[in-house]
Amino acid sequence: MAEAERIIGTPDSAGADETAAPDGTAAPEERPKGRRRIVALFVVAVLAYLLDLGSKMLVVAKLEGHEPIELIGDLLRLDAIRNPGAAFGMGEAFTIIFTCIAATVIVVIIRLARKLYSLPWAIALGLLLGGALGNLTDRIFRSPGVFEGAVVDFIAPAHFAVFNLADSAIVCGGILIVLLSFRGLDPDGTVHKD
C-alpha cells in the first residue's frame, strides 16, 4: 500500500510553500479540482457496481437453471454459471485469497482517492473499484458461505471464458490505467515524458 501511495505521490505536500500568502500567513487551500475527481471516481464505481449487481440479480432470477440464451448465434450467449475461482475459472481452491485481494484493492483505491487530480484516472480507478466491489459482494454473500461464495458469471462468448459486468469493469479499468501510464499521465494530474 505504501508503494501505491508513493507512485501516486502526495499533492497535499507538493508545493506547500506556494500556499503562503504574501503577508506570510497561510492561504486557504483551494481543492475543488480534487473533490470533483473523487466524486467522479465514486460515481463511476457506484454505476459499475449497480449495473453488475442488477445484472446478476436478473440472471439468478431468470436464467439460472434454464437453457442458455443465444444472442449472436454461436458467437455470444447468456449462460448462468457459478465461479468459485478467479478469472477463467482458475484457482477454485483459493476463494478466500481472492476475497482478500479484492478487499485490499478496494482499500488501496479508497485511500488513494484523495490524491486524484486526473479525471481519466478517476474513471479507471472507479471501474476497478466498482468491479472489485461487485465480485466481492458475491464472494461474501453467495453460497456456499461467507468469504467462499461463487461469483455469478453469465456472458459467454464462443471460445472464451464466461464472465460478468464486474469482470468487464475491472478489465476496462486496467486497460485504461495502462494507456494512461503509457501516455505519461499520473493520477495527480501531472504529465511526464520519459
Which residue numbers are catalytic? 153, 167
Q: How far apart are CA 10 and CA 13, in angstroms?
A: 6
* Cα 162–chain centre separation: 19
φ/ψ of 159, rounded to 5, equals: 60, 35
Residue with cell string 487551500: 29
- Name which of 61, 84, 74, 47 is nearest 165 in CA terms: 47
Q: How far apart are CA 170 and CA 3, in angstroms?
A: 21
* Cα 181–chain centre separation: 17
Contact 40, 122 (CB under 8 A): yes
φ/ψ of 77, rounded to 5, equals: -145, 165
Contact 136, 102 (CB under 8 A): yes
Q: How far apart are CA 8 and CA 186, in angstroms?
A: 7
- Name which of 137, 134, 144, 140 is nearest 171 in CA terms: 134
